[in-house]
Amino acid sequence: MSNMAGTSTEDILTVGDLRKHFKTSQGIVRAVDVVSFSVKHGETFGLVGESGSGKSTTAYVIMGIYAPTDGKIYFEGADLSTGVKKRPKPLKKRIQIVFQDPGSSLNPKRTVKQIVELPLKTHDIVKGDCEEKVKELLDMVELPTDFMYRYPRELGGGEKQMVAIARALATNPSFVVLDEPTSALDVSQQAKIINMLLRFQKEFKLSYLFITHNLSLMRNVASRVAIMYLGKICEIAPAAEFFQKPLHPYTRMLLSSVPVITDEEEILKPKKIVSRGEIPSPVNVPPGCGFHPRCPEGREICRREEPAMAEIEKGHFVRCHLYTIGQSTKDTA
């Protein structure tokens, strides 16, 4: 396993050289291809990328929805790489997920009470009737207790996501995957959900893996940020440094296109880099650096050789030949 995600007592989750490939009629889809990172206790780790970058697939492998093709996943020191069926039941309840679309993640044939009480019964958290605990969880996410008798179709988008959050927190987890939890909501609901999640993080000492395509959101919620492109992580840095000193051309391209409100914010943005083309198919990954067909700073070596991840400054890693040509690289993090 790469040293980039070396296990540490500070880490609640460690992902090392993770791969997830799918066989299709068109060929092998390398959805996740040698991904390594760690999430520290109590932090929000942001995983950012365009659609098709592999960020959600990474989350689903961590959750056990997909089995890994290769690589290692450690959670609180336990090896999760063996598949979800072999995970001990007490361990499963420590890891929960909030999906992007609450409309599809909530069973339309069950009431809110039945949805929220399912994990309570599955993990034997409450003996007998769960009504009081369900009321407590709904109150926690600021929903009226009489919502427990409603069906998802009777709720708004924000209300559905609050039910999904209540369900995720029902097992008293220590780690929650947030898979674009606000992207399907309007702006006012987004702010409410984000503030709620940040409050719960402090109150319950939660660690988050926050998956999004919204870089502006990461500026305010994440302690560290990783950028994914075509199944690989191309840059990892502390959030403040990430926004002040982006290194990878792809990162700079993303940041230069983030909308801002003030002239001061505009000054802080990287020089405008025009986005060229679309993310290639993971079935036909370009040779060398996967970003080179779109990169305005590409060199001949970028077409031939895949760059290694290198630590340029403490805690700031980048996968790019611009920073490693003629240098000894360190594949560590």
Domains of the chain: 11-94+174-279 (3.40.50.300), 109-172 (no CATH)
pLDDT-above-70 percentage for the chain: 89
Residue 272: exposed, middle, or buried by beta-carbon count in 10 A (0-12, 13-18, 19+)?
Answer: exposed
Contact 210, 43 (CB under 8 A): no
pLDDT, tens digit (0-9, with 9 covering 90-100), for 92-134: 899 999 998 888 889 999 999 999 999 999 999 998 889 999 9
pTM value is 0.90
> Over the stretch 278-312, which tens digit does the pLDDT of each residue have?
788 888 889 999 999 999 888 999 999 999 999 99
Q: Which long-range contacts (CB under 8 A, 24 or more apart) does 60-68 make?
A: 61/18, 61/20, 61/32, 62/13, 62/15, 62/95, 62/177, 62/209, 63/95, 63/97, 63/177, 64/92, 66/20, 68/18, 68/19, 68/20
What rounded mean pLDDT belongs to the chain? 88
The two tokens of residue 120 are 């309570």
- The pLDDT of residue 220 is 86
| pLDDT at residue number 172 | 96
φ, ψ at 135 (rounded to 5°): -60, -45
**Do 213 and 197 form a contact (C-beta atoms < 8 A)?**
no
Q: How far apart are alpha carbons 264 and 38 in whole angstroms?
A: 33
Share of the chain above pLDDT 90, in %: 67
Q: Collapsing DSSP states into helix, strand and coil, what is residue 308?
A: coil
Q: Kindly report, residue by residue over 138-178, the tens digit of the pLDDT.
A: 999 999 999 999 999 999 999 999 999 999 999 999 999 99
Q: How far apart are CA 270 and CA 243, in angstroms?
A: 9
Specify the range with the lowest mean pLDDT, choosing from 45-54, 207-216, 265-274, 282-291. Answer: 265-274
